[in-house]
């Protein structure tokens, strides 16, 4: 594992709290001066500890009112079923995330739609047609109680 | 709000790299710096852009295990549901708590250092939550994301 010291952790904690901080602001929060802070951030980016920055988008504000988590079981008796399923699922734009899991469920997918009718249409025309699906269960998002990807560093 | 093609192009640029300046995002979207700046500001004010996040490699920082839990809550009455939500939200290893409709009542995402650490969190923190019922765990093996503004 990479060597991450307490100063690095303080830098990462500051960035987790607010990723829009400038290097000078991060340095101040982590208690060091700007140049060494910049060097440490640079090093952690090079080592792939910091993968990058992104914006957090509220899809509901863009008109996608429905989010459904599909729990899929795949017919594993067929050879190559997993790969074929995932390749096909990648091509459906309304599927935002595909996760493979170890447990009762094989694959989880996040699906967004503009409305319930739209969701039904996606389900019928795109998802149930995916190859090797043995069983699909749906969980519909009502509300997000917590969404905080911060790690306890 | 209904975003037009320029908004979508700006969002796409910022999703790929949230540290882009308005000028650089504008270059990718084919608009000038002041236009890009105004548009991004409007997207922020409308709440479309909720904020910026740093993406860290969990495994490299020693968090090797992500588990999704489906949870049933046997709590009766509003007070006990609120108590469950308050208690589950306070667990630092629980990154995501979603109230859902379906075979489970809540979806949780738990990040742990390893399976042993996960077991400790499950036994000491989650199984002791007020009103907790049936729990199903699925360990994350891999994840890939589609860009949300492809649609």
Whether A72 and A111 map to the same domain: the answer is yes
Confirm whether A145 is domain-assigned. no
Whether A63 and A35 map to the same domain: the answer is no
| Residue A102's CATH number | 3.30.70.920
Q: pLDDT value at position A150? A: 84
Instruction: Return per-residue pLDDT of chain B as tens, 151 residues.
Output: 778 889 989 998 998 888 888 999 999 999 999 999 999 999 999 999 998 899 999 999 999 999 999 999 986 766 788 899 999 999 999 999 999 999 999 999 999 999 999 999 999 999 999 999 999 999 999 888 876 655 5
Whether A35 and A64 map to the same domain: the answer is no
Q: Is B28 on the interface with A (CB under 8 A)?
A: no
SS3 A143: strand
Confirm whether A70 is domain-assigned. yes
ipTM beyond cut 0.90:
no
**CB spacing of A152 vs B93 below 8 angstroms:** yes
pLDDT tens digits for range A50-107:
999 888 888 888 889 999 999 999 998 889 999 999 999 999 989 999 999 998 889 9
Q: Is B140 on the interface with A (CB under 8 A)?
A: yes
Q: Which residues contact B50 (CB under 8 A, 6 or more apart)?
A: A55, A56, A57, A58
Q: pLDDT value at position B38? A: 96
SS3 B136: strand
Whether A40 and A69 map to the same domain: the answer is no
CB neighbours of residue B90 within 10 Å: 10
| Residue A40's CATH number | 1.10.10.10
Burial class of residue A31, CB neighbours in 10 A (0-12, 13-18, 19+): exposed
Topology (CATH) of B5-45 = Arc Repressor Mutant, subunit A (1.10.10)
User: What CA–CA distance (Å, rounded) separates B60 from A40?
Assistant: 16
Whether A67 and A31 map to the same domain: the answer is no
The number of folded domains in chain A is 2
User: What CA–CA distance (Å, rounded) separates B119 from B67?
Assistant: 11
SS3 B41: helix
Range of the domain at A105: 59-140
Confirm whether A11 is domain-assigned. yes
Topology (CATH) of B59-139 = Alpha-Beta Plaits (3.30.70)
A109 strand-pairing partners: A70, A98
Whether A25 and A86 map to the same domain: the answer is no
**CB spacing of A101 vs B99 below 8 angstroms:** no
| Averaged pLDDT score across all residues of chain A | 91
Q: pLDDT value at position A151? A: 87
Q: pLDDT value at position B18? A: 86
Chain B partners of A52 at a C-beta cutoff of 8 Å?
17-19, 54-55
User: What CA–CA distance (Å, rounded) separates A26 from A50?
Assistant: 14
Nearest-CA distance B114 → chain A (Å) = 14
Whether A72 and A127 map to the same domain: the answer is yes
- Residues 61-100 of chain B with CB under 8 A from chain A are 61-63, 68, 70, 85, 88-89, 92-100
Give me the residue from B47, B137, B143 closest to A97, CB to CB. B143
B91 strand-pairing partners: none
Whether A66 and A133 map to the same domain: the answer is yes
Whether A84 and A14 map to the same domain: the answer is no
Confirm whether A148 is domain-assigned. no
Whether A75 and A41 map to the same domain: the answer is no
Whether A95 and A119 map to the same domain: the answer is yes
**CB spacing of B56 vs A16 below 8 angstroms:** yes
Note whether B20 and B14 are within 8 A (CB): yes
Q: What b/e string do you get for B56-89 counting C-beta neighbours within 10 Å, with b at 16 or more?
A: bebebbebbbbbbbbbebebeeeeebeebbebbe
Task: Give me the mean pLDDT over the A32-46 stretch.
Answer: 95
**CB spacing of A53 vs B55 below 8 angstroms:** yes
User: pLDDT-derived band of residue A149, with 50, 70 and 90 as boundaries?
Assistant: confident
Instruction: Choose among B29, B38, B32: nearest CA to B10.
Output: B29
Give me the residue from A101, A146, A153 closest to B141, CB to CB. A101
- Domain definitions of chain B by residue range: 5-45, 59-139
Whether A65 and A135 map to the same domain: the answer is yes
Confirm whether A52 is domain-assigned. no
pTM (2 d.p.): 0.86
Q: pLDDT value at position B78? A: 67
Confirm whether A147 is domain-assigned. no
Confirm whether A113 is domain-assigned. yes
């Amino acid at each position: 594992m990479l060597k991450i010291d307490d100063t690095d952790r303080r830098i990462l904690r500051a960035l987790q709290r607010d990723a829009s901080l400038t290097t000078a602001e991060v340095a101040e929060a982590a208690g060091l001066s700007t140049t060494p802070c910049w060097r440490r951030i640079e090093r952690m980016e090079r080592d792939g500890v910091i993968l990058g920055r992104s914006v957090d988008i509220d899809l509901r504000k863009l008109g996608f009112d429905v989010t459904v988590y599909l729990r899929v079981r795949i017919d594993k008796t067929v050879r190559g079923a997993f790969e074929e399923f995932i390749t096909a699922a990648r091509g459906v734009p309304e599927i935002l995330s595909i996760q493979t899991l170890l447990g009762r469920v094989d694959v989880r997918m996040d699906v967004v739609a503009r409305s319930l009718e739209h969701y039904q249409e996606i389900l019928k025309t795109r998802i149930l047609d995916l190859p090797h699906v043995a069983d699909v269960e749906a969980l519909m998002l009502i509300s997000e109680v917590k969404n905080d990807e911060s790690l306890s560093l | 709000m209904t975003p037009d093609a320029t908004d979508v192009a700006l969002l796409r640029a910022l999703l790929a790299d949230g540290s882009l300046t308005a000028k650089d995002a504008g270059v990718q979207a084919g608009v000038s710096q002041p236009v890009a700046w105004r548009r991004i500001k409007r997207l922020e004010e409308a709440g479309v852009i909720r904020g910026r996040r740093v993406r860290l490699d969990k495994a490299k920082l020693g968090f090797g295990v992500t588990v999704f839990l489906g949870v049933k809550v046997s709590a009766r009455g509003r007070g006990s549901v609120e108590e469950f939500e308050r208690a589950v939200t306070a667990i630092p290893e629980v990154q995501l708590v979603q109230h859902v409709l379906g075979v489970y009542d809540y979806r949780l995402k738990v990040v742990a250092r390893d399976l042993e650490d996960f077991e400790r969190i499950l036994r000491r923190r989650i199984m002791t939550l007020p009103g907790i019922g049936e729990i199903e765990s699925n360990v994350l093996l891999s994840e890939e994301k589609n860009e949300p503004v492809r649609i």
